[in-house]
Amino acid sequence: MSDHSLGKRKKSKKKVLKPGPLYSKDGIPYDYIVIIDAGSKGSRLHVYNYLNAYQSMKKGIDLSQYQSIKKRNKLEDELSDDESESDDDNPKKLPNLFPKIQTKSKWHKKIIPGVSSFNKAPHKIGKHHLAKLLSRASKIVPQPVQYRTPIFLYATGGMRLLIPTEQKEILKEICKFFENQSDFFFPDCASHVSVIDGDYEGIYGWLSINTLIGAFDDPNSHQHGKNHTTYGLLDMGGASTQVVFQPNITEIDEHQNNLYHIKLRQVPQLNNSNYEIPNLQEYNVYSDSFLGFGMFQARNRYLKALVENDDKDEQYHYWGFTKSPIPDPCIPKGFTTSTLIDDHSYDFIGESNFEKCLKNIFPVLQNSTHGGGPKAKNCKQFSDGDEVSECLLNELIPSFDFDINHFIGVSGYWDAIEDLLSQEDKRQIDSRDLKDQKNTYDYKKIFNKTQKVCSQSWSSMLELNKQKEYKNQLTEDELSELCFKSSWILNFLHLGLGFPRFGIDEPNNKDFQTLQLVETLDGSSFSWALGKAVLYANDEYIQAFNNLTNNSIQRPGFYHSTSENIYQYGAEQNNIESRPLFDESKMDESHYYNYELKDETDNESIWNIEPHRWYGLIIFVVLLGFIGYLMLGGRNRALFITKIKTGFRKIYRLTPGYNEAKYTTIAGDFELGDMPEVDSQFKVDDDDEEDDENVNDNEEANDSKSTIKNSSHK
């Protein structure tokens, strides 16, 4: 990143966050939507807007006149820095899945931890979590239209791991807060706040990635062959990983019962002052959430396997009551870590053994079944030959057609490979070269880099890490897990899903990109929340078209082939109130809630998450003791304090080093004359000096008595 862009970013941070626009340049009001992605480690707020469909068509606006993001970016590149507008003043126009969706970088906010962290104190989730997100949303969405702006919160990985009763309590508190402490449009709890199904999350992600890359906006530029123009999605999370793609025609016919059917409509086209019936776009998509195969859960299963295998080892031994560290080939040699597994703590010591690391990860795939189907017949390790392995694919899952199936890898895929490729021997790396390396997944390069990292010692990894700029350095946890994460991706892609290894497997087409790893597309970060916004807007446009033209074409949405009657509409479901129509007369109405909070604080204190029963009990005991102390009376209180002081003195005298300061211990077979002299600089306390003086006075008195006695005797 250039110094100019860094300076520009720093400057933008000082600006006050401005609310989004109420109207477009054509006088058309904007509709807003607020979506909260409640993940396992944190919640992410996303705000989007688009032209109001009803007002646009009522005024006869040509909706096709708005530029796609690619054309807009090209024009911006041709402008000078002085002519281009700042990010705060010029929203990003995302490519349209027919209605144009807009957002800005500051229209997103992440706070930690996740909502699942409030499972012990769900009543705190409103004040200490949701209020921060609503505060940011209220600063973006203009206040006059907040009452008609829908808000959604969909929880993913972390909430799925909680027991149903804990999920229910958290969701109930979220709904209560949105209903009573929010001015946003919230007509129904169940459809606006839920633990989202993994398959639905995958579909929203698929819509998002194809919207961002422009596959819907300009399909002719994305022809992959066989009339296939969309991209598959690989989204690696902590608990699960989503796999979503559009199979070829043969696989669609064979797997009709395992596919989702998505129905979309193009934006209505203006023709001689009348809008034509929007064209229908249908897609048959396979969406699956591979539970337990996310990065965090996969590592836990891997470590459990190491523990089980080590228990069977006859050479397994103990040091006292502690088991010796378990060898882990996937962490660097010289590094030791402790991990809690099934409520027991185990120590693991690194071996830096790449081949053994791959071999030990393989059983996580080999011993698994997915989707209720039988185990895959073709399941082999890397060392078993060069044939493609498909440990997680069975007859219920459509086969990939790598002649046409292109995939985009996000989240955990991007993060792991980015960290891997950043481990270079150079002190500085050109950011453009590094970006090019990460953009396309190169099997040979990733395999060789992983082998190199997995063979390094902990000391060498730390040394290389220190050579990088401080902001680019990895934490110790990230460094120690780097080998496993990269090795897991190699296993999951090439042994689990059967992705081809170019140069080894077919196809061997250098121009074909089986997998691209991305963090952003055209300047916009990936989030499945965009897919939800796109589908919501698409549905609202069709409803507006039906209302203005007295048509009744089917609304956009999706359904699973086995449950066609359970149709998921893009906007509000049947029998649920739709977004209120835009009413200019309500623009000056006052609103009930004030969200003025310091939402800049992204981290929540553990004090505000955990219940305070123990703290209250401790305070109660202290107060009770204080009252008892007062009831003792003055004389008894003085006696009590004296006893306390005496007790502390006794404890102090028992502390190590106290006796050595006052006495010399005679040990062994030394005679008194052989003992070393005491250091003249040795110091004693004042009280001890007084004792020594008293002893000397007594000795002098005894000597004088002895002298008198001897004299009288004589």
* Mean pLDDT rounded to a whole number for the chain: 79
Q: Where are the beta strands (DSSP E) in 200-351?
A: 232-236, 240-245, 260-265, 270-271, 274-275, 280-291, 318-319, 322-323, 326-328, 336-341, 344-350
Q: Return the pLDDT at 240.
A: 84
Domain boundaries, the chain: 16-220+528-551+567-611, 295-367+407-512, 625-714
DSSP β-bridge partners for residue 34? 47, 151
Residue 691 scores a pLDDT above 50: no
Does CATH place domain 16-220+528-551+567-611 in 3.30.420.40? yes
- The answer to whether 559 and 566 are in contact (CB under 8 A) is yes
Measured distance CA(267)–CA(264) in Å, rounded = 10
**Which residue, 134, 129, 172, is CA-closest to 151?**
134
Matching fold, domains 16-220+528-551+567-611 and 295-367+407-512: yes
Element containing residue 541 per DSSP (H, E): helix 528-549
Q: Return the pLDDT at 4.
A: 42
Q: Return the pLDDT at 684.
A: 37
Q: Return the pLDDT at 22.
A: 94
Question: Of 50-64, 192-206, 353-367, 673-687, where does mean pLDDT reach its minimum?
Answer: 673-687
Amino acid at 481: E
Amino acid at 195: V
Rounded average pLDDT over 87-113: 77
Q: What is the number of residues in the chain? A: 714
pLDDT tens-digit map of 141-182: 999 999 999 999 999 878 888 899 999 999 999 999 999 999
Percent of the chain exceeding pLDDT 90 equals 43
Does CATH place domain 295-367+407-512 in 3.30.420.150? yes
What DSSP assignment string belongs to 328-366? ETTS-BT-EEEEEETTEEEEEEE---HHHHHHHHHHHHH
Q: Can you list the pairs that 69-74 forms with residues at least 24 positions away whose Cβ atoms lie under 8 Å?
A: 69/93, 69/94, 69/95, 69/214, 69/522, 69/523, 69/524, 70/95, 70/214, 70/218, 70/522, 73/522, 73/523
Residue 657 scores a pLDDT above 60: no
Between vectors from CA 88 to CA 59 and to CA 208, what angle results, nearest 5°?
Answer: 70
